Structures are given as C-alpha cells and as structure tokens.
Amino acid sequence: MTATPARRVSAVEAVAEGGASGAGEVLDQPALAELTTLRVGGPADAYVEATTEAELVDAVRAADDAGEPLLVIGGGSNLLVSDEGFGGVVVRDVRAEIRIDAEDTCGGGSMTVTAGQDWDQLVERAVAQEWVGIEALSGIPGTVGAAPVQNIGAYGQEVAGVVASVRVWDRAESRIRNLPLIDLAFGYRTSLLKRSMHASPEGGDIWYPSPRYVVLEVNLQMRLGTLSAPIAYPELARRLGVQVGERAPSAEVRAAVLELRGGKGMLLDDPTAPDHDRWSAGSFFTNPVVAADQADLLPADAPRFPVRSALPSRTTGPSLGEIDPTLVKTSAAWLIEHAGFTKGFGVHGPASAATLSTKHTLALTNRGGASAAEIVELARAVRDGVLDTFGIELVPEPVLVGVAL
C-alpha cells in the first residue's frame, strides 16, 4: 500500500455517489494508483473501508443490489487497473484480527483471521508462535483474504497447505457460507474463489474483477513446532544448507526467504529507500503448466518442475501434494530470458517508463511515471515474444481491471 485513501464513505453513500459520479465527486476519490503496488490506475467512482464484517457485507450487497461493478481490494498487490480507473465501488476490509481458536501439541493450532489482516504480519506471528507451514510464504504482500483466492505460493509452499475453511459472503445466494478445504478446489495459483470471478449461474463474468465469494475470514490449521515444514525448493534448501525434504528452524527459513526475495526485488517498496524494481505486482506471468509431451519439445536446459496436487498427501508433509506425471511446470522467467528479454528490458529502451525489473525478468515494473497502458504494452511484447519462440502463451497472474493483453 502506498497512500492513505482520500475519504471514507458509507456503503450507501458510495453507491449513491457511484451512480451520480460528477467530476467533483470523482476527484474526491482515490486513484487506484494509490491503492495498488504497481501504482497505476485511474479513479474509482466510490471507495468504502469496512471496519466490521457487517459493514463489509453491507457494502458488497449494496453495490450488487444497485448493479454497480464491485472491486474488493486488499493490498492491491495483484491488480493491474486501467488508466480510466474503475467505474464502480471499491471496497476494502481494514480489519486486522488473528483469533486463536485452539492451540495444543496434539491437535496443533487453529486460527481464524480476518480478510483484511496483512499476510506477512501473520507469517511473522506464526513463526514467533511456532505455528508451522507458512514460513516459506514470508514477504508476500497483500492480505489474508486474498491469499486463498489465487492460492499464494512461493519457495515450495502454498497457502492451500494450511487452509481449513473460508467464511465467505456468497454474492449469488446473498448469504454467509463456510467453504471447507475440499470445496475450495485449490490448484496452482487458483481456487474455487478465483474461478468464481468468471462463472455466474447464468454464465458470463458478472462478478469479475472480484470473486462471487467475498472472503470474510480464513480458518487456518497449523502444526506446532520450531522446525519448518520440509523444505521443497532447491534454492531455499541450498541457502539453508539442508537437503530438499529436510526441515530447518522456521525463523531461519523466514530470514532466508526474506533475503532471497529482497535480492530479487520481490518485497514491497521501502518508502525510506525507494526501489522501482519493487513497483510491481510480483510475478506478472504464472509458470506455464504444460502436458509432459509438450515439455519434451522445450530445449534440454529449460527447467522442468513436478506438478503437485495442492492437497497435502499423507506421506509428504503439510505442503507437498502427490506428483501428477502427465504435467510439467516450466519457468516463465526462463522462457522470457531465453526469448531475448533481459532484465531491465523496455519496449522503448531501458529508459522506458515500464520495464522488466532489473533484478528479475518475471516482474513488470513501473519506473516512476508509467501508465497502465505502458505496462500492458510491455506485457504484450513479452507474451508475444515467448509465444513466437517457444509456442507457449504466458498467462498473466494479476487480475486485470479494464485492460486486456
């Protein structure tokens, strides 16, 4: 998050103003550039901050009842919003609560966390309180509410490994529901929640750019202990001096992950030492998952990773599911680099307003004055170059609002 929004209004006011949307009122509302980590995007018609669950539900219901487009926003770290902005209501949950429901060495820990809670602060608390299973997810920006939407993952862990259930407001049925793990159908950077943006009972994308299910709270189950879950990512294992599959002290895992992420510009910007490599939405493209025979056609040195089910298996520990032998995940960063796009690449040269990060080819960055259109132009160039070279179409990871590649 980069700035405090200009003004807080109630759901009813917001929807009324969204409908009226005179120029003066629009100016009074924050630009999405102030609410997103890519720092691009024009104004929203209306903006609501919810401080209770009832306010959150009311704001969502009011927008839906009025037929206003709705954008539920967390940290804005996985969004690319158009320069025209968002012609609807932006709603943000500002509650930050972690409730411990149970904690004992036999059953482990069970916590209920509000959607607005900052994700990395939860990880910090988990490591301090010896809750195991999210230490490798240190440093991911954004909120707990958004974490299960795209099943955040990094360094061999995914949030799917610890989610027990999610309490949601179901916009289609206008009621609160509890979705257990089995219904959430997690996959690589996806879930029922994410897929629900595109599916309505009538067909079509009526909920987009937010899910049909608005996350109110997330219930997590974690083992207790000082040692991490088995390390599943070779680069992290090397940094920790352990073998893949071994455990390490969770505090060391967190420190190592933060260090690795810092070196790649994959932490949020520090306002005291601004770094444009961090003005991004993280990885802009997901790692392509391709059929095993398509992966055989890639150059011999292209990375090939096993594709695991997000659901933990009984034998491999809390974060590692069974391997699917028919699928292979390759590296979007490798494809981008080997298609000729180097770190710092810009469509109009290195001084372009939007370039690849100078530390990591997978992050598209705003060098200070970029527009959403310039980010899109860069994304298209990279996607098309990879398609021409390898026949693989990269898919954007962020949610695109009012723009398309």
Kindly list the residues in this chain that would bind ligand FAD in the complex (CB under 6 A). Answer: 37, 71-79, 93, 115, 140-143, 145-147, 149-150, 152-154, 209-211, 214-215, 266, 268, 278, 280-282, 399
Angle CA 16–19–24, to nearest 5: 85
Reply yes or no on whether 125 is catalytic. no
Question: How far apart (Å, rounded) are the C-alpha atoms in residues 39 and 222?
Answer: 35
In the chain, the amino acid numbered 44 is: A
Per annotation, catalytic residue among 92, 189, 212, 254 = 189
Closest approach of Cβ 364 to ligand FAD, in Å?
Answer: 11
Question: How far apart (Å, rounded) are the C-alpha atoms in residues 312 and 243?
Answer: 20
Question: How far apart (Å, rounded) are the C-alpha atoms in residues 63 and 14?
Answer: 8
Question: How far apart (Å, rounded) are the C-alpha atoms in residues 276 and 63?
Answer: 35
Question: How far apart (Å, rounded) are the C-alpha atoms in residues 402 and 87?
Answer: 9
- Tokens encoding 66: 């009025």
Give the β-pairing of 163-170 and 157-158.
unpaired
Pick the closer one to ligand FAD by CB: 217 or 377.
217
Per annotation, catalytic residue among 210, 228, 250, 283 = 283
Reply yes or no on whether 55 is catalytic. no
Pick the closer one to ligand FAD by CB: 175 or 348.
175
Pick the closer one to ligand FAD by CB: 15 or 35.
35
Question: How far apart (Å, rounded) are the C-alpha atoms in residues 152 and 150?
Answer: 6
Q: List the beta bridge partners of residue 112.
A: 99, 219
Question: How far apart (Å, rounded) are the C-alpha atoms in residues 37 and 34?
Answer: 8
Closest approach of Cβ 127 to ligand FAD, in Å?
Answer: 17
Pick the closer one to ligand FAD by CB: 56 or 382.
56
Pick the closer one to ligand FAD by CB: 232 or 281.
281
For 93, the enclosing helix (H) or strand (E) is strand 86-93
Neighbour-count burial for 277-301, b at 16+ CB within 10 Å, e otherwise: bbbbbbbbbbbbbbeeeebeebeee
Reply yes or no on whether 283 is catalytic. yes
In the chain, the amino acid numbered 330 is: T
Question: How far apart (Å, rounded) are the C-alpha atoms in residues 282 and 142?
Answer: 11
User: Which residues are catalytically annotated?
Assistant: 189, 283, 397
